[in-house]
């Protein structure tokens, strides 16, 4: 059954995303594209629809690596040897350039391919099973939710995309084959970020958002409903436009090599990257390639200022340096225009028509400050010294180490020991296999022979372990006492600091605040710094202390997260003085808090109670609740972000 793909030209708006995808087809050497955006913004739809616009290519008949029939640079070793013998193009077939989607949960062996170690040990010959990187050679590799992909797989994909070769090595036996492809990744920043050094490896980066214009939103719904009712008719209706766009892309592909990168354009590119303080030179090179591809697409003979300007929008925003507390990146169209003007020096040119409209900045709403009953604290931007005297924790439960836990991981992670295989041996442990065979020689009567025979029962496979992240949930008192001490400000800074290292440790951080008469989940557990900035920017403080509601919501949130991420460890960090004055079920406020604390004690989560009472000996509510929850109790008094980060991480 043939699956009908939604037409590329039928996608409403999202012009930046579509333009970036087109440029990667015109010049695959641009370096791939990362598409960041909210759910339901046509990211996956656009990438899958791109396959209909891709041109046909010639591949060597019968080769699993899609080798080029006459270009040795795009051939595997076997095809290159055959080509050198004859000096003639190898027998070929024509096929459509492909978009290969990386399956969810793909293993390392599935991605890079694998050497059949059992056959190598028994026969002495290499036997290679091609993986996805062989299948995608000279095509597009699409990775959905690339920010959730394990680190080692992301590194493998980026290295292969940059080098154009896939290297596979197992126990000293190696194999390589060409793997030139365009990497396309999509992600929702709310679910976690990519490391900055990985972001920089993508040539283009596009931020997509939901459409706000009502008329345009209606058009999105109308087209989608028409497609769902009759996919064949809808695709046929839009096919002429897709074909026209495909022809324009093919024309631009042929023309891009002849586009002139003038000294003026090169000066503008270098000036922009210098003024915006772009690290390294990858941004300059990628910007030059993108500007040339744009010029070819628009039918220009040389790169113009407007091409440079539009290329900057696609190439530079994700390369801008910014501090942890910055709300927005410092990239701006105005800065690009100023750099272009500076590079022109003397020769004036025609006014540049902006390819994208500048967003209008709206003034903050006016209001009467006298009517406000709550206060909002900003995020501290101070630099903290994380060395301080060690605090002795009280309570029966030991303090969590803060380190990511180890979890078994087939075909990935660190090799820690060898085990017997289950089913067909994969990821063979050559050292343990040979030791087992050597110890078995005497028992099998092979002691006098020089040849070591490997039998199936000698084979051992590797047991690997990888890091499993934690879910760190802050349950913070935002009532009047906390507001007066401005400790919410320090809590926000601590959360941002923890999220900065969250990608490396695969941790997620969330925040619950309780104040007034209820508790609310301000920040769902996330690894995204951008999401945290938006949600933490304005948190009101003041009012009463519904402690029981905060603890109950914290327990419910951790239970839900455990169902979604069963391998994660959970840590609840309660920041409060323990004084409850709002009941949960109409009873005594403190009794309700004690009941919830007993339920938390039964949960598998670690708990840390940070007592912010200035004089904890006066009441001891925090100590008593920590004892009931079996929590690590730490009397803090005045909270500061540096100390909080050190305790948790």
Closest alpha carbon to 96 in 132, 50, 129, 130: 50
Higher-pLDDT residue of 81, 193? 81
Residues 381 and 456 in one domain: no
Per-residue model confidence (pLDDT) at position 398: 38
Tokens found for residue 298:
């628009």
Nearest to 530 by CA among 557, 503, 563: 503
Least confident of 151-165, 284-298, 484-498, 509-523: 484-498
Quick check: is 80 in a domain? no
Q: What is the pLDDT of residue 489?
A: 72
Q: How far apart are CA 260 and CA 25, in angstroms?
A: 19
Which region among 219-228, 294-303, 344-353 has the lowest average model confidence (pLDDT)? Answer: 344-353
Q: In angstroms, what is the C-alpha Rg of the chain?
A: 30
Q: Are residues 127 and 44 in the same domain?
A: yes
Task: Look at residue 205 and tell me if it is in a domain.
Answer: yes
The answer on 569 and 503 residing in a single domain is yes
Domain end marker among 415, 448, 467? 467
Q: Decide if 640 is inside a domain.
A: yes
Containing H/E element for 77?
A: helix 77-86
**100-104 average pLDDT score:** 86
Is 444 assigned a catalytic role? no
Verify that 321 and 190 share a domain, yes or no. Answer: no
- What pLDDT is recorded for position 614? 65
> Which pLDDT belongs to residue 25?
92
- Does one domain contain both 531 and 512? yes
Mean pLDDT computed over 448-469: 72
CA count, 13 A, side-chain hemisphere, 141: 29
Q: Are 304 and 265 in contact (CB under 8 A)?
A: yes
- Give pLDDT, residue 561: 85
Which whole number is the average pLDDT over 344-369? 44
pLDDT at 381: 37
**Are 310 and 427 within one domain?**
no
Residue 318 belongs to domain with CATH number? 1.10.8.80
- Domain end residue (candidates: 210, 244, 269): 210
Together in a domain, 282 and 141: no
Inside any domain, residue 299 = yes
Among candidate residues 48, 122, 195, 282, the one labeled active-site is 282
Which of 321, 344, 367 finishes a domain? 344
Q: What is the mean pLDDT of residues 615-642?
A: 76
Q: Are strands 181-187 and 139-143 parallel, antiparallel or unpaired?
A: parallel
Q: Which CATH number do you get for residue 491?
A: 3.40.50.410
- pLDDT, tens digit, 9 for 90 and up, residues 314-339: 998 888 865 444 444 467 788 888 88
Same domain for 271 and 418, yes or no, is no
- In this structure, the answer to whether residues 306 and 424 fall within a common structural domain is no
Q: Quote the number of domains for the chain.
A: 4
Q: What integer is the mean pLDDT of 65-78?
A: 89
Q: Report how far residue 633's alpha carbon sits from residue 607's, in angstroms, rounded to the nearest whole number.
A: 9
Residue 359 confidence (pLDDT) = 42
433 shares its domain with 391: no
**Domain contains 358:** no
pLDDT of amino acid 326: 47
CA distance 536 to 557: 18
pLDDT (mean) for 42-47: 89
The reply to whether 283 falls in a domain is: yes
Decide which of 600 and 541 is more confident.
600
Residue 136: give its domain's CATH number.
3.40.50.300
Q: What is the pLDDT of residue 643?
A: 67
Please determine, for residue 648, whether its predicted confidence score (pLDDT) is greater than 60: yes
d(CA 320, CA 314): 12
The pLDDT value recorded for residue 306 is 92
Q: Report the residue count for the chain.
A: 649
Q: Which residues are registered as beta bridge partners of 472? A: 509, 571
Could you tell me if 453 and 337 lie in one domain? no
Answer whether residue 369 shows pLDDT above 50.
no
Give the pLDDT of residue 2. Answer: 58
Based on DSSP, count helices (H) and strands (E) in the chain, helices before strands. 24, 22
Of 223-232, 350-359, 406-415, least confident by mean pLDDT is 350-359
Report pLDDT for 322: 57
- Do residues 209 and 38 touch, judged by C-beta distance below 8 A? yes
| One domain for residues 399 and 410 | no
Average pLDDT, the chain: 78
Range of the domain at 527: 377-404+469-648
**pLDDT tens profile 237-270:** 999 999 999 999 999 999 999 999 899 999 999 9
């Amino acid at each position: 059954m043939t699956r009908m793909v939604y037409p590329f030209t039928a996608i409403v708006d999202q012009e930046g995303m579509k333009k970036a995808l087109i440029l990667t087809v015109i010049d695959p050497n641009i370096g791939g594209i990362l598409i960041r955006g909210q759910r339901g913004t046509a990211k996956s739809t656009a990438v899958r629809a791109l396959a209909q616009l891709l041109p046909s290519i010639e591949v060597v008949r019968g080769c699993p690596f899609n080798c080029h029939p006459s270009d040795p640079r795009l051939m595997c070793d076997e095809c290159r040897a055959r080509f050198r013998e004859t000096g003639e193009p190898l027998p070929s077939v024509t096929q459509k350039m492909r978009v290969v989607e990386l399956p969810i949960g793909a293993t390392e062996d599935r991605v890079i391919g694998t050497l059949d170690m059992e056959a190598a040990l028994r026969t002495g010959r290499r036997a290679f099973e091609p993986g996805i990187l062989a299948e995608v050679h000279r095509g597009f590799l699409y990775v959905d939710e690339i920010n959730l992909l394990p680190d080692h797989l992301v590194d493998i994909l980026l290295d292969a995309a940059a080098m154009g070769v896939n290297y596979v090595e197992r126990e000293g036996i190696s194999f390589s084959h060409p793997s030139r492809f365009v990497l396309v990744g999509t992600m929702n920043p709310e679910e976690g970020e990519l490391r900055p050094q990985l972001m920089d490896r993508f040539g283009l980066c596009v931020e997509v958002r939901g459409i706000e214009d009502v008329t345009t939103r209606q058009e999105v719904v109308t087209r989608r409903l028409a497609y769902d009712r009759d996919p064949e008719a809808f695709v046929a209706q839009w096919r002429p436009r897709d074909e026209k766009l495909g022809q324009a892309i093919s024309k631009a592909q042929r023309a891009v090599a002849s586009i002139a990168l003038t000294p003026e354009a090169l000066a503008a590119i270098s000036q922009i990257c210098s003024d915006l303080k772009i690290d390294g030179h990858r941004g300059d090179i990628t910007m030059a390639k993108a500007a040339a591809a744009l010029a070819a697409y628009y039918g220009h003979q040389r790169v113009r200022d407007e091409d440079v300007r539009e290329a900057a929008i696609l190439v530079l925003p994700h390369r801008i340096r910014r501090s942890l507390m910055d709300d927005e990146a410092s990239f701006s169209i105005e800065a690009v225009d100023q750099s272009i003007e500076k590079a022109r020096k003397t020769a004036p040119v025609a006014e540049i028509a902006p390819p994208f409209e500048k967003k209008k900045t709206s003034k903050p709403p006016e209001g009467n400050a006298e009517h406000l009953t709550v206060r909002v604290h900003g995020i501290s931007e101070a630099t903290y010294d994380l060395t301080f005297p060690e605090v002795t924790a009280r309570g029966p439960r030991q303090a969590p180490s803060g380190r990511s836990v180890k979890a078994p991981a087939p075909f990935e992670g660190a090799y820690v020991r060898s085990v017997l295989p289950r089913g067909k041996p994969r990821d063979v442990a050559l050292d343990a296999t040979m030791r087992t065979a050597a110890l078995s020689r005497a028992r099998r009567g092979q002691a006098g022979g020089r040849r070591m025979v490997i039998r199936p029962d000698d084979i051992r496979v590797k047991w690997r372990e990888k890091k499993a992240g934690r879910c760190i949930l802050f349950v913070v008192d935002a009532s009047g006492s906390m507001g007066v001490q401005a400790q919410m400000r320090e809590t926000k800074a601590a959360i941002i600091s923890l999220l900065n290292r969250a990608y490396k440790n695969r941790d997620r951080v969330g925040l619950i605040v309780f104040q007034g008469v209820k508790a609310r989940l301000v920040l769902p557990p996330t690894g995204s710094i951008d999401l945290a900035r938006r949600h933490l920017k304005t948190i009101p403080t003041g009012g009463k202390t519904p402690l029981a509601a905060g603890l109950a919501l914290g327990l419910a949130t951790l239970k839900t997260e455990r169902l979604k991420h069963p391998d994660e460890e959970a840590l609840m960090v309660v920041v409060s003085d323990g004084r409850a004055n709002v009941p949960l079920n109409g009873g005594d406020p403190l009794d309700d808090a004690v009941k919830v604390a007993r339920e938390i004690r039964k949960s598998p989560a670690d708990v840390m109670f940070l007592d912010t009472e200035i004089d904890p000996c006066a009441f001891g509510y925090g100590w008593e609740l920590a004892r009931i929850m079996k929590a690590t109790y730490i009397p803090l008094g005045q909270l500061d972000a540096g100390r909080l980060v050190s305790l948790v991480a």
